Amino acid sequence: MKKLKVLLIGIIAIIAVLFFTGRHMRTSQGHTGSNTLTIYNWGDYIDPDLIKKFEQETGYKVSYETFDSNEAMFTKIKQGGTSYDLTIPSEYMIQKMMKEEMLHPLDYSKIKGIDEIDPRFLNLDFDPGNQYSIPYFWGTLGIIYNDKQFNEEDIQHWDDLWKPEVHNSLMLIDGAREVMGLALNSDGHSLNSTDDKELKQASEKLSRLTGSVKAIVADEIKMYMINEEATVAVTFSGEASEMVDSNEHLHYVIPNEGSNLWFDNIVIPKTAKNIDGAYDFINFMLEPENAAQNAEYIGYATPNKKALALMPEEITSDEQFYPSDEVINNLEVYEDLGLDYLSIYNELFLEFKMHRN
């Protein structure tokens, strides 16, 4: 009888150990393996509360990393190492990733809410039929200035950056396509030019801009302009929106001789590990209330037409950041220039930066 009691106690103890071990393993897996969604996004490009909301609604744990250029993102994904489930490149980089077969084709039977997207932002040249990408934000490149130093008529065109009054006051975004593009546009050329003569002309013109440049940076432009440590800058519309909200003396201009119209879309890299989680996040961000919350927080323009209806009219009617079709039609989308001309753009931009130093 005593032996039987000992045997029963032993069995109960083993069952208890197995129960608690299994419970612990299930709990631990809540933040690893298939329950983790790894997102690679631009800095300051999502409302952090939306990530928390997504985690609460779905049970996924989001691992979130940021990049500061399309090229940096491309290189890291190409090299492997970390397996990102989602990333948000710009249109020309989506083209490049498609060519290099780095993207997972989308299964629309798993996507809910694509009808919420304004048709103007679907089926664009860089991804016909949106086979690989879902619109996230769109915007422009322009000039922001402080009205304490400049009147409205002083800063309306790219050429105004070369004025003597701008000496040592200009902040430039650290991007070869953006800086070479503004120089090309200022001379009436396409920002996708592959004409060697036009590129040389743009490079020579940039060399005469060095005296105006205070710094070539990225996210720091916001701080400099808001704190009035610089008076004029070239920046993206969403960044400008945040600056304008923080300092009433700042104004954003899209030069009428042309500029960049860009689109950032969500894609799933082929190396993604959590495909189901990626679709869940896409569907979450397509929900109008989430898209509206994100657009209000970030300041960039949303392509989600139902989200627009949920946002304050003072935001959606502001043509600085939601420009008219007439303005949009005068803008250009970056094209994938191919490796040779991308290298030329990068070399000329590097020469400009070195010449400045």
Q: What is the pLDDT of residues 91-130, one digit of tens each?
A: 999 999 999 999 999 999 999 999 999 999 999 989 999 9
Query: Rounded distance, CA 102 to CA 96, Å?
Result: 9
158 close to 182: Cβ distance less than 8 angstroms? yes
Question: Environment class of residue 81 by beta-carbon count within 10 Å: exposed (0-12), middle (13-18) or buried (19+)?
Answer: exposed
Partners of residue 141 on adjacent β-strands? 236
pLDDT, residue 349, reads 96
* pLDDT surpasses 90 at 331: yes
Mean pLDDT of 22-31: 37
pLDDT at 26: 36
Selected residue with higher pLDDT from 184 and 357: 184
**The pLDDT value given to residue 218:** 80
Predicted pLDDT at 284? 98
pLDDT of residue 336: 83
Residue 18 has pLDDT above 90, yes or no: no
For 161-173, how does the pLDDT look when each residue is reduced to its tens digit (9 = 90+)? 999 999 999 999 9
Arithmetic mean of pLDDT, 16-33: 40
**pLDDT for 357:** 55
pLDDT for residue 210: 93
For residue 90, give the DSSP letter.
Answer: B
CA–CA dist 213, 123 (Å, integer): 39
Q: Both ends of the chain: CA-CA distance in Å?
A: 91
Question: What is the rounded CA–CA span in Å between residue 69 and residue 73?
Answer: 6
Task: Pick out the residues of the known binding site.
Answer: 92
* Residue-level pLDDT at 11: 52
pLDDT at position 66, please? 95
Numbered residues of the known binding site for spermidine: 92
What is the crossing angle of helices 288-298 and 48-58, to 10°?
Answer: 160
Please state the pTM of the whole predicted model.
0.80
Q: Percentage of residues in the chain with pLDDT exceeding 70? A: 90
Residues 221-245 have pLDDT tens digits of 999 999 999 999 999 998 899 899 9
Residue 100, token pair as written in the block: 């290099």
Mean pLDDT taken over the chain: 90
Q: Mind listing the pLDDT tens digit for each residue in 264-284? A: 999 999 999 999 999 999 999
Residue 111: the pLDDT is: 98
Burial 155-194 (b: 16+ CB within 10 A, else e): bbbbebbbeeebeebbbbbbbbbbbbbbbbbbeebebbbe
pLDDT at site 326: 92
Mean per-residue pLDDT, 319-346 = 91
- Percent of the chain whose predicted confidence (pLDDT) is above 90: 80
Residue 338: pLDDT band with limits 50, 70, 90:
confident
